[in-house]
Every structure is written in structure tokens, then in C-alpha cells.
Structure 1
């Protein structure tokens, strides 16, 4: 730490301990698998989470925004890069709340 030199370490394995799986194509859960299979979602940038608009509207495989399917927080990591801190998620929640109110008043 604090050094600018290159350090090479040889090992037999690399363990990813960065937390949850962000590539939804590799998540072994029924909901993400079904959403992907039906083309209702697509992987996000760099295969981190899923693709969505800034207001959280999820993008399908054609890149069209869903009318009633939204995301916020870790599923949008590829879009926002950091999407787990309270301040990050709070701003996403506010944008989503505004969008949901807009939808409610349209109905």
C-alpha cells in the first residue's frame, strides 16, 4: 500500500470476495432466470446487474423501457457503478418514487 511499484504474486486460485453476484446471467434464482429467458431484462453495462433508464425503468432485450418493471440499488451497479451506499440508493429511490407518482396520476 502506498507504493507505486509492481508486485507479482503467484497462486493456484483467485477467490472473488467482492460480494454478491452481479452478472444476472449467472444468478441461480428463478426470478432473474425467468426475466432473462422471457427477454424482459438484459444485462447491464459490463454485465453488472441489469440495464435500466435513469428513472429505474428496466430495459428489455430490444432496449425498450418497461412500463411497470423498475429497479434500484445493486441491480443497477453497471449503470451507476456504486449502488449500495445509503446515499446512492436514496437518490435512486427518490427518482423512482417521482416516476411512480407520475404513473399513478396518468392512470
Structure 2
């Protein structure tokens, strides 16, 4: 009978431990979001040479071209991560269907 009582207390302890972890992780996320909102930093992304080449009103088309190039270079890694994430998701879904 004593072992059965220990099992119940162990089970209760495990569920309480899981609940504490979830509460801690949600509070850490909340603090991180608040910190990110209030302490955002502005960054100048252009190097000194790019800024010197694009300074002035006569280089409007060049500046737009450089900005478009930056956007294209930024999009490619996000697309790769999204595609890999989708493939992993699809792999787990097929494993779930096989398990059923």
C-alpha cells in the first residue's frame, strides 16, 4: 500500500513540476516581449561606402536598387527556413498517420 501512495505522490509531483515549467516559460516570454518593445534599437544597415555612393538627390534610382537588393537578399534565408519547416511538419504528420 505504501508503494501505491508513493506513485500517486510522484505523479502529482510530476504534474506540478510541469505546470511550474509552463508558468515560468510563459513569464519569461512575456518579459522578453516587453523588453523587445521598450528597448528596441535603431540600426543603420548601410556601410560607409554605400552611404557615400548613394548620398544626394541625384542617386534616387541607385538607392532604390540597393534597397531592393537588400530585400531580395533578406527574403532568401526566410524562404529556406520556411520550406524546411514545412517539410519537417509534413514528415511528422505522415508519421502520425502511420501510427494510427
Q: Is this a same-fold pair by TM over 0.5?
A: no
Q: Which has the higher contact order (CA 8 A, sep 6+)?
A: 1
Q: Which has the higher strand share?
A: 1
TM-score (normalised: structure 2): 0.28
Bigger-Rg structure (1/2): 2
TM-score (normalised: structure 1): 0.27
Q: Which has the higher helix share?
A: 2
